[in-house]
């Protein structure tokens, strides 16, 4: 049984403020943890990246417990991978998903409750996860699940209008709103496939998405066979479709039953390059976060096993939330919420 120090990085604004309530409950549950617990609540975008990047190398060992959505996890991952030391491989991550979409959590075998997170902190098994890497305009960033170009960006720009809806419905409402005005982008994609063969796609596209895992937008299974530990990225590209064609394909994408077709491309790739064929700037997003830069091209590859997560063991071939098989053990007795940054 593992009883190490814990560094909590929490976004209290996640999911419309639900993160703050979850952090309060978590502090209470961790109050009598037998090792030091350090809690840092973020107050602005980018703060989690800075905090993890600047964490002293001699800080007490133990996992990073991320409380937030995919965007918070994105920041923590980039902070770890910007470091010069090997902390990304030495210090495992545990995720308590408190976001809108929580697509990364769908890649984990464990669940999404405080009880299940406490079980992982005690008995979770280290599991390596691949991450994507993108180079643009002399910058390098990593993504834990998604790089998106096209309608995905327009959806994020409208998503706040549907904030009262849950993840999948929120994305769907923003998508329908975006489709009214969106014009497909003239896009060129060059990529190296799983066999090392260079290939090419070009046309006016509705969406170009590169993922580590199977789902985006709170449950759209655009790459249902994707795995986060196979050393490959998955490319999902949709060319210009009519509204009727979109209406027919959306239910299949939710279920993950869509197939490769004349205008729907599903490919495995080791690396790739995305640009607009009209030489215009690209607006893109990473893990549900809009990037402020508008480069002329994106160079993408994968970093196998770059991060380590504590996860449940695979039980009878079943993976996914609620199938952990981890013994939780006795829960700490609730006590009043502590004050200060430690415990």
Q: What is the pTM of this model?
A: 0.89
Per-residue pLDDT, 333: 34
User: Where do the domains of the chain lie, and which CATH numbers do they carry?
Assistant: 6-124 (3.40.50.10330), 135-304 (2.60.200.40)
Return the bridge partners of 286, or none: 147, 289
Of all residues in the chain, the percent with pLDDT exceeding 90 is: 75
Token output for 155: 């959806």
Per-residue pLDDT, 146: 98
Per-residue pLDDT, 322: 43
pLDDT at 3 over 70: yes
Mean pLDDT of 216-220: 91
Per-residue pLDDT, 285: 97
Question: Which of 19, 46, 290 has the alpha carbon at shortest distance from 174?
Answer: 290
Per-residue pLDDT, 1: 62
Torsion angle, CA of 5/32/313/209, rounded to 10 degrees? Answer: -70
Per-residue pLDDT, 25: 96
Mean pLDDT of 129-148: 97
The Cα 265–Cα 262 span in angstroms is 7
Per-residue pLDDT, 341: 40
Mean pLDDT of 124-131: 96
Mean pLDDT of 46-54: 96
Grade residue 323 by pLDDT with cuts at 50, 70 and 90: very low
Mean pLDDT of 111-138: 95
The Cα 155–Cα 174 span in angstroms is 5
The Cα 209–Cα 107 span in angstroms is 17
pLDDT at 150 over 60: yes
Mean pLDDT of 133-141: 96
Average pLDDT, the chain: 89
pLDDT at 191 over 70: yes
Kindly report, residue by residue over 245-279, the tens digit of the pLDDT.
999 999 999 999 999 999 999 999 999 999 999 99
Mean pLDDT of 226-239: 97
pLDDT at 343 over 80: no
Task: Give the number of residues written for the chain.
Answer: 343
Kindly report, residue by residue over 220-232, the tens digit of the pLDDT.
999 999 999 999 9
- Burial environment of residue 250 by CB neighbours within 10 A (0 to 12, 13 to 18, 19 or more): middle
Kindly report, residue by residue over 159-172, the tens digit of the pLDDT.
888 888 887 888 88
Grade residue 316 by pLDDT with cuts at 50, 70 and 90: low
Kindly report, residue by residue over 52-101, the tens digit of the pLDDT.
999 998 888 899 999 999 999 999 999 999 998 888 878 999 999 998 88
């Amino acid at each position: 049984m593992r009883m190490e120090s814990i560094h909590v990085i929490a976004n209290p604004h996640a999911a419309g403020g639900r993160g703050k309530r979850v952090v309060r409950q978590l502090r209470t549950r961790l109050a009598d943890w037998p090792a030091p617990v350090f809690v840092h609540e973020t107050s602005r975008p980018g703060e989690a990246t800075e905090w993890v990047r600047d964490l002293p190398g001699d800080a007490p060992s133990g996992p990073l417990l991320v409380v937030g959505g995919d965007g918070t996890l994105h920041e923590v991952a980039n902070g770890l991978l910007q470091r010069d030391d090997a902390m990304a491989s030495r210090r495992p991550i545990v995720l308590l998903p408190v976001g809108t979409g929580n697509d990364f959590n769908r890649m984990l075998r464990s669940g999404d409750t405080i009880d299940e997170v406490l079980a992982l902190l005690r008995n979770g098994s280290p599991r390596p996860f691949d991450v994507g890497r993108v180079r643009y305009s002399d910058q390098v960033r990593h993504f834990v699940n998604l790089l998106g170009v096209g309608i995905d960006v327009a959806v994020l720009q409208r998503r706040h209008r549907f904030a009262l809806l849950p993840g999948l419905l929120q994305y769907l409402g923003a998508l329908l709103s975006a489709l009214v005005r969106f014009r497909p982008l003239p896009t060129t994609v060059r990529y190296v496939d799983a066999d090392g063969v260079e290939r090419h796609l070009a046309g006016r596209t509705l969406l170009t998405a590169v993922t580590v895992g199977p789902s985006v937008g709170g449950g759209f299974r655009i790459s249902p066979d994707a795995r986060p530990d196979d050393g490959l990225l998955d490319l999902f590209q949709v060319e210009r479709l009519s509204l009727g064609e979109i209406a027919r394909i959306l239910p299949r994408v939710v279920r993950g039953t869509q197939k490769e077709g004349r205008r729907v491309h599903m490919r495995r790739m080791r690396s790739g390059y995305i640009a607009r064929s009209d030489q215009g700037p690209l607006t893109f997003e990473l893990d549900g976060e809009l990037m402020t830069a508008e480069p002329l091209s994106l160079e993408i590859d994968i970093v196998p096993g770059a991060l380590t997560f504590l996860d449940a063991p695979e039980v009878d071939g079943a993976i996914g939330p609620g199938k952990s098989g981890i013994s939780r053990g006795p829960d700490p007795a609730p006590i009043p919420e502590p004050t200060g940054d430690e415990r």
